[in-house]
Structure 1
Amino acid sequence: MEFTLFYEGILKSGNKADAKYKHRIRQYFHKQLKVLWSEPPLKDLKDYQLLETTPAGYKKEFSFEHKFGNFQFVPLIRENLDLIAEIDIILLTSEPLGGIVNNSGDIDNRLKTLFDGLRCPSKPDEIKEIQPEPDEKPFYCLLEDDKLITKVSVTTKRLLDSDIGKNEVRLILSIVVKSTKDYKIFKHYP
């Protein structure tokens, strides 16, 4: 399965990005992933999103739900389903090429912030004092854990005559989801 996600805004370096900031990035992607889950082929897996709706006999093996606090996260890429992700990132900035590393924080720490925004929280501190909004039930994430990213490529490009600020970026993420096993429910998906 292949699809594209988009992000526009400030992408802070890991040491400058607190849990609430990372959750705002998570919310940005939730809206896009919610659309993805409403269309085929994921629409066909709607019954598997939450434990309460997963067909009998499949609850532990095939449910996407990841409960954490008051949230019901539904990560597309889960370890129990033997799914992995390959991500190709185009990072667009108004800064001159090479400036993204020096002026806005080094690229690897900014990518770690991005990956944290693509995954479910891994500990309670990441969402403490945060409650799901009405349209975040369930809350869609790309990844259960960022260790399920097996390949990343990043291309930085400069936007000329752009209206984005000095510290802002536009990201285009091409996602390829792969299964490491041959499950019957995924057989007819590309």
Structure 2
Amino acid sequence: MRFRLFYEGDLLSSANKSKRPAHKHDIRRAFHKQLQELWRVDGNLRDWVDRVDNNDVPKFQGIADRYGKWGHRWVPLVDDVHSTHCSLDVLMLRPGRVGGLIVETDIDNRLKTLFDALQIPTSQSQLEPPTSDEDPFLFCLKMTV
């Protein structure tokens, strides 16, 4: 399957002193809405939403229960349990002179911020309680161990 996620806004560097967990969660929330729609319209993913397991619970709800952390229930699209994987192509567009993104900014730490936002957080710091449409938190891309 192929799909595109869009994020419009600042992509701040994840510097050593400040890991910017609130910023990463804002990005995660922007992707959540897009991934939630993907799970609604894609036939293969829709099957996970509609199909029930042995306990008469929708399959994705069981996954969310398994990956519950810090008041959030996560549904990773990519994880080792289901042998799912993905590849990413990142296109960064921003105003400025040609080559300025690489020369004038900390691109590696900006990409780290993006990749961190695509996964289940590794700590609770500054995670806000989930809103009503974020339970389960549909849907992150990457499962962390």
Give the equivalent residue in structure 1 for 2:96: 95
Counterpart AA for 2:74: F
> Does 2:11 match 1:8?
no
Give distance in 2, aligned partners of 1:10 and 1:22.
Answer: 11
Deviations 1:138-160 (A, max 9, x none): 11212213x9xxxxxxxxxxxxx
Deviations 1:8-57 (A, max 9, x none): 10001111551111100000000000101111321111156xxxxx5128
- Correspondences of 1:157-168 after superposition (within 5 Å): none
Counterpart AA for 1:24: D
Give distance in 1, aligned partners of 2:134 and 2:50.
Answer: 17
> Does 2:87 match 1:86?
yes
Q: What is the identity percentage for the equivalent residue pairs of Structure 1 and Structure 2?
A: 38
Give the equivalent residue in structure 1 for 2:54: 56
Computing the radius of gyration from Cα coordinates, the structure with the larger value is 1
> In the comparison of the two structures, how many residue pairs are matched?
136
Q: For structure 1, list consecutive stretches of 5 or more residues without a partner in the other structure.
A: 49-53, 148-190
RMSD over aligned CA atoms reads: 2.3
TM-score (norm: length of structure 2): 0.83
Give distance in 2, aligned partners of 1:75 and 1:29.
Answer: 12
- Correspondences of 1:4-83 after superposition (within 5 Å): 4-15=4-15, 17-41=19-43, 42-47=45-50, 55-56=53-54, 63-65=62-64, 66-83=67-84
Secondary structure, counterpart of 2:5 in structure 1: strand
Give the equivalent residue in structure 1 for 2:113: 113
1:123 deviates by 2.2
**Which 4+ stretches in 1 moved above 6 angstroms?**
none
Give distance in 2, aligned partners of 1:47 and 1:79.
Answer: 22
Give distance in 2, aligned partners of 1:95 and 1:64.
Answer: 43
Give the equivalent residue in structure 2 for 1:143: 142
Give distance in 2, aligned partners of 1:17 and 1:91.
Answer: 21
Q: For structure 2, list consecutive stretches of 5 or more residues without a partner in the other structure.
A: none
Give the equivalent residue in structure 2 for 1:153: none
Secondary structure, counterpart of 1:89 in structure 2: coil
Counterpart AA for 2:25: H
Give distance in 1, aligned partners of 2:19 and 2:101.
Answer: 17
Give distance in 1, aligned partners of 2:133 and 2:11.
Answer: 24
Deviations 1:52-98 (A, max 9, x none): xx5128x9xx8532111111111111121112221111111101122
